[in-house]
């Protein structure tokens, strides 16, 4: 399978799975402003990753990933302790909606309208799946 098709199928499947999870638990409701925020954040994160914006920052990619996971994990724990389980569920549903929608929007633009960035194609061709 060529790298472009692999990227489109992989990201499309990830987006559909995230949105399906939200659809299965939709009875709880999703906050549209929060979902829009997570969508914008997902699109920005994909853009930064695939266009080499992080290459200008100090540290290796591993250090940047560890810092991101630490900050996100601390934020989730603080949110859970401060707001309670109902708010956490709302935020998690909005984040899944934003993740799925953001990946879908980004990959439609950089995959169907414009070409997939070369760095993403290179990573896709190096992997088996």
Q: How far is CA 101 from CA 24, 50, 83, in A?
A: 16, 18, 25
Which burial class, exposed, middle or buried, applies to 98 when counting CB atoms under 10 A from its CB (0-12, 13-18, 19+)? buried
Q: Which DSSP string do the residues of 38-53 spell out, in sequence order?
A: HHHHHHHHHHHHHTTG
pLDDT score at 104? 92
Q: Count other Cβ atoms within 10 Å, centred on residue 83.
A: 12
pLDDT score at 73? 73
Mean pLDDT across the stretch 12-37? Answer: 82
pLDDT in tens, 45-102: 888 888 877 777 666 666 667 777 787 777 767 766 677 767 777 878 888 888 899 9
pLDDT score at 114? 92
What's the half-sphere exposure (Cβ side, CA atoms, 13 Å) at 70?
6
Mean pLDDT across the stretch 97-119? Answer: 90
pLDDT score at 128? 65
Q: Using the Cα atoms of residue 71, residue 87, residue 36 and residue 102 in order, give the sign of their dihedral.
A: positive
Is the pLDDT reported for residue 25 higher than 70?
Answer: yes
Q: How far is CA 71 from CA 64, 68, 75, 76, in A?
A: 11, 5, 6, 9
Is the pLDDT reported for residue 6 higher than 70?
Answer: yes
pLDDT score at 64? 65
Helix, strand, coil percent content, the chain, rounded in steps of 5:
80, 0, 15
Task: Report the mean per-residue pLDDT for the chain.
Answer: 81
Percent of the chain scored above 90 by pLDDT? 9
pTM recorded for the entire structure: 0.76
């Amino acid at each position: 399978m060529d790298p472009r098709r692999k990227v489109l199928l992989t990201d499309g499947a990830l987006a559909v799975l995230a949105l399906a999870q939200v659809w299965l638990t939709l009875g709880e409701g999703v906050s549209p402003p929060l979902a829009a925020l997570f969508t914008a954040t997902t699109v920005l994160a994909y853009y930064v990753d695939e266009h080499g914006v992080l290459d200008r920052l100090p540290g290796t990619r591993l250090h940047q990933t560890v810092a991101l996971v630490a900050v996100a994990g601390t934020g989730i724990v603080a949110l859970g302790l401060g707001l309670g389980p109902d708010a956490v569920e709302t935020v998690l549903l909005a984040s899944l909606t934003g993740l799925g929608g953001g990946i879908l929007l980004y990959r439609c633009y950089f995959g169907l309208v414009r070409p997939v960035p070369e760095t993403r194609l290179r990573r896709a061709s190096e992997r088996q799946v």
